[in-house]
Amino acid sequence: MAETLSIAVPPLPWRRIVVGCGMAAIDFVATVDAFPKPDDKIRSKRLKVLGGGNAGNALTCAARLGLTPRLISKVADDTHGGYILAELEADGIDISNVVICNGGTSTFSYVIVDNQMKTRTCIYTPVYPAMVPEDLPRSSLLSALDEAKLVYFDGWLHRTALVIAQQAAEMNIPILIDAETNKSGLNGLLDLASYIICSEKFPQEWTSIPSITYALVSILLRFPHVRFAIATLGEKGCIMLERSIDDEGSDIDETDVENLLESLKMRVDKDNVLPSCVSSECMRLCAPGVGTISGRLLLGTAEIIPSSEIVDTTGAGDAFIGAILYGCLML
């Protein structure tokens, strides 16, 4: 997350504290002419070293947007750990609750960026020894959550994450979960979630329902405390299913949510290269065989960027989450 982010955003009226719990890593990003085949020996002309990890990236974005982020994570006292912490601190992230272990190794991630096919492949080696709840003293936990407006979990460090989420729920702090993949311990976190961001594949994988919109309805029915679920679709943008609070629209006819998505797609201005959002009214949204909820469906588009201008997509999903954190605190 060393690239510069320069978007005009409204100034925040006061200190908005967001806590993030998850992976902080050092990324070695190697650009190659073509993705290697097994047993190849290939040359990378360019190797960039920069901070990474889902929580590290998302909080960096949040900090650059003007939020006050605090990180809960674990690094080792090795060279990489020092690099990770220095970069996060330079971006204004509060790292006082990051556990630093003596000996061991910090999370290391090697990212292969293929210039030809525009892929980014990550091989990560998690922090060793792994983070356990006992690493985080209760005083640190309480000090990290003090005055926090939102707590975000990237799905890593799941045992520690669950302890933090339970404390946050007790303190009525909203919880946002990144459900990128079905990592172990994820269900326990989702039970406490207020907001869910997931990958394109996750709704189908988690519910076994082929339609992404029906799967999102299923997720909102399964977790009645979840206010919205967003599925990211890469260059196709994202879909958001938002539950209405006061059950508006319950008196009108039900709409099939899959048909609704198709009608939203028709309303997208395809000549607009900038990101945009089209939204339905609040209504009864029906997923046949799954159930019905009251709410609205939103379709966000991604900026259309010429491929020559794309450096690489590493951390793009995390930056998206950073922006969602910002959006949640502006609600």
Residues 188-207 that bind a second copy (CB under 8 A): none
Per-residue binder mask for a second copy (CB under 8 A), 252-291, x = binder: ----------------------------------------
Selected from 18, 19, 30, 99, the binder of a second copy by CB under 8 A is 30
* Radius of gyration of the chain from its Cα atoms, rounded to whole angstroms: 20
Nearest CB to a second copy, comparing residues 124 and 276: 124
* Residue 115 binds a second copy (CB under 8 A): no
Nearest to 71 by CA among 13, 172, 1, 122: 1
* Residue 86 binds a second copy (CB under 8 A): no
Nearest CB to a second copy, comparing residues 22 and 249: 22
Nearest CB to a second copy, comparing residues 106 and 211: 106
Task: Please list the alpha-helical segments (H only) found in 51-157.
Answer: 54-64, 79-90, 138-145
* Residue 105 binds a second copy (CB under 8 A): yes
Selected from 44, 143, 166, 204, the binder of a second copy by CB under 8 A is 44
- How many chain residues are in contact with a second copy, going by CB under 8 A? 32
Shortest Cβ 84–a second copy spacing (Å): 14
Per-residue binder mask for a second copy (CB under 8 A), 60-79, x = binder: -------------------x
CB atoms within 10 A of CB 47: 10
Region of 30-38, 141-149, 236-244, 293-301 interacting with a second copy (CB under 8 A): 30-38
Nearest to 193 by CA among 164, 239, 225: 225
Nearest CB to a second copy, comparing residues 23 and 212: 23
Nearest CB to a second copy, comparing residues 30 and 257: 30
Contact between residue 161 and residue 188 where contact means Cβ atoms under 8 Å apart? no
DSSP code per residue over 247-298: -TTTTS-EEEHHHHHHHHHHHS-TT--S--EEEPPSEEEEETTTEEEEEEEE
Contact between residue 100 and residue 76 where contact means Cβ atoms under 8 Å apart? yes
Selected from 3, 15, 119, 137, the binder of a second copy by CB under 8 A is 119
CA 83, CA 50: separation in Å to the nearest integer? 8
| β pairing state of 277-279 and 291-300 | antiparallel
According to DSSP, residue 303 is labeled P
CA 105, CA 1: separation in Å to the nearest integer? 21
Shortest Cβ 40–a second copy spacing (Å): 5
Selected from 2, 35, 92, 233, the binder of a second copy by CB under 8 A is 35
157-192: b or e for each residue (b if 16 or more CB lie within 10 Å)? bbebbbbbbebbbeeebbbbbbbbeebebbeebbbb
Calculate the CA dihedral of residues 303, 306, 310, 315 and round it to 10 degrees. Answer: 20
Selected from 11, 38, 224, 306, the binder of a second copy by CB under 8 A is 38
Shortest Cβ 159–a second copy spacing (Å): 17
CA 175, CA 195: separation in Å to the nearest integer? 6
Residues 126-155 that bind a second copy (CB under 8 A): 126
CB atoms within 10 A of CB 22: 27
Region of 63-71, 121-129, 160-168, 286-294 interacting with a second copy (CB under 8 A): 121-129
Nearest CB to a second copy, comparing residues 69 and 317: 317
Residues that bind a second copy (CB under 8 A): 28, 30, 32, 35-47, 79, 105, 108, 110, 112, 114, 117, 119-126, 181
